[in-house]
Copies of this chain bind each other. A is one copy, B any other.
Amino acid sequence: MKQLTRRSFNGLAGKGLLGSALIANMPLANALSTNKNDKKLGIALVGLGSYSTYQLAPSLQETAHCYLAGIVTGTKSKEAIWQEKYNIPKKNVYNYDNFDTIADNDSIDIIYVVLPNSMHADFCIRAAKAGKHVICEKPMAISVAECDAIINACNENNVKLAVGYRMQSDPYTNEVKKYVREKTFGDVKFVSSDAGYISKGNPDQWRLDKSLSGGGALMNMGVYSIQTSIYGTGQNPIAVSAQEFSTRPEYFKDTDETITAQFKFANGAVAHMMTSHNSNGNRLKCHCSKGWFELDPAHSYGPISGTTSNGDILKFPHKKQQALQMDDFAKHILMGTKNVAPGEMGKRDMIIVEAIYKSIDEGGKEQLLSLGNMGIVS
């Protein structure tokens, strides 16, 4: 049916009958219609920082269902470099002033917002209004309200939305999900997860500026541990408590340095997590009634490493997680496969982030969560 729609729409577009007003009302079809080879969707990266430069752009050289079609950057000098390196036509190069005119560019199907956290909502909403499908880098935004605004904008403009949760497309993660789902090691009793690194260097980096990041370790690596706690149990938590630790306040001026949090789950599982900008940590361990399984590292760019109480050493062919992630989203758009990281998942995690900060503000008091199955997609 999608294919039919796409073909039908292509017909209209070919006849020049579609003005921008109509496009704004039919963005899904619009996005699909611009797929030049009917297989690969064009992605534009918004923000050409290190993640776009060293992870996303190289990954887009390996994707089967999408490709690097355009860029949006505020740094003029980057334009020519990227154009040459990735064979990007001038018409697909935007800056932050003319960004909204991307609505008129049929070569761009998906806009991937890779800006500092506080800018996610603004650009995701504008991308949606431009009729483009949206990938929003994690964390989805800096508040639940912003997540709602992004989700609403995508719904209203009938575009698809995914959060940049690369681990959701990783085979090790999915093996863990299978263990949980199939109770390979029995019921999960306890999950321990860490996600952190030691932040050094420029104290003016945007991650250490709350106005741009919305928070410190929790808004960065912490989201991975929230995610592992959830796919490590297969459930959303029903309550959370948290603590903050500060030992280098001169460096971490207004963002959190280290946070620990504890989760309760309805099935009796318990989890605790640690996230830090002052300590390394990269692990998920699930203790079950009949054994255990572990990923360590659990969320680096891979390959991930996994072991189990059966003596198994997990081994999957290594592919760039971001390539798998963007292909998953492209397939979702093209073929209607599952959206493995929908906006609802990003919003759920932001609800948890806000509850963690609230618990810290209230001296570690437990915060009840009413998430149901929100964001659980497998």
Contacts and interface: CB of A to CB of B under 8 A. Distances in A.
A278 B189 contact: yes
Interface in A348-375: 359, 363-366
Contacts of A189: 198, 276, 278-280
A359 B365 CA distance: 11
Nearest to A292: B280
Copies in the complex: 2
A194 interface: yes
Interface string A160-204: 000000000000000000000000000001101010101000000
A123 B191 CA distance: 39
Given A190-B194, A196-B190, A366-B364, A270 B279 contact: yes
Interface stretch (A1-9, A81-89, A135-143, A242-250): A242-250
Nearest to A270: B245
A274 interface: yes
Nearest to A309: B280
A279 B287 contact: yes
B279 A274 contact: no
Nearest to A363: B365
Given A272-B272, A272-B274, A281 B190 contact: yes
A198 B289 contact: yes
A258 interface: yes
A129 interface: no
Interface in A186-245: 189-190, 192, 194, 196, 198, 241, 243, 245
Contacts of A359: 364
A279 B363 contact: no
Given A258-B270, A262-B243, A190 B276 contact: yes
Nearest to A247: B268
Interface in A269-292: 270, 272, 274, 276, 278-281, 283, 285, 287, 289, 292
A264 interface: yes
A107 interface: no
B363 A366 contact: yes
B192 A258 contact: no
B268 A260 contact: no
B260 A270 contact: yes
Contacts of A196: 190, 287
Nearest to A359: B364
B278 A274 contact: no
Given A247-B270, A270-B279, A364-B364, 10 more contacts: A190-B258, A190-B274, A192-B192, A243-B366, A245-B270, A247-B268, A260-B262, A268-B278, A270-B274, A281-B287
Interface of A: 189-190, 192, 194, 196, 198, 241, 243, 245, 247-248, 258, 260, 262, 264, 268, 270, 272, 274, 276, 278-281, 283, 285, 287, 289, 292, 359, 363-366
8 contacts: A190-B194, A192-B192, A243-B262, A245-B270, A270-B274, A281-B287, A359-B364, A363-B363
